[in-house]
Amino acid sequence: MSSPPKSRKAWWVTLGVTFCLFAFLLFLGTGRTCGGGARIYAINNGKQLSTALFSYASDHDGMYPNEQTAMAEFGEPGDTAEACFT
């Protein structure tokens, strides 16, 4: 009597599961990487805004901009550029 032919089905299943697991982990890692760039971009924008506000305050005796200071500096809505800069 001869032995029955050996099947490699279990080996292929193990290889397939390993490949799917690797692809899933790679997919998860890629998503986190892309989101990190947007987060850093937003943090940088916040830093630039705070720097601009502190710079404005240091130039204007510690006062921060509001609607009244904006109108006083740039005139009334509808004024031309010549009226604002003369």
Any domain includes 66: yes
The residue range of the domain holding 48 is 22-85
pLDDT at 8: 76
Any domain includes 59: yes
Any domain includes 33: yes
Q: Tens digits of per-residue pLDDT, 9-56?
A: 888 888 899 999 988 888 877 666 666 678 888 899 999 999 998 898
Distance separating alpha carbons of residues 75 and 12, to the nearest angstrom: 76
pLDDT at 44: 93
User: Which is nearest to 65 in space by CA: 46, 45, 49, 81?
Assistant: 49
pLDDT at 51: 93
Count the domains in the chain: 1
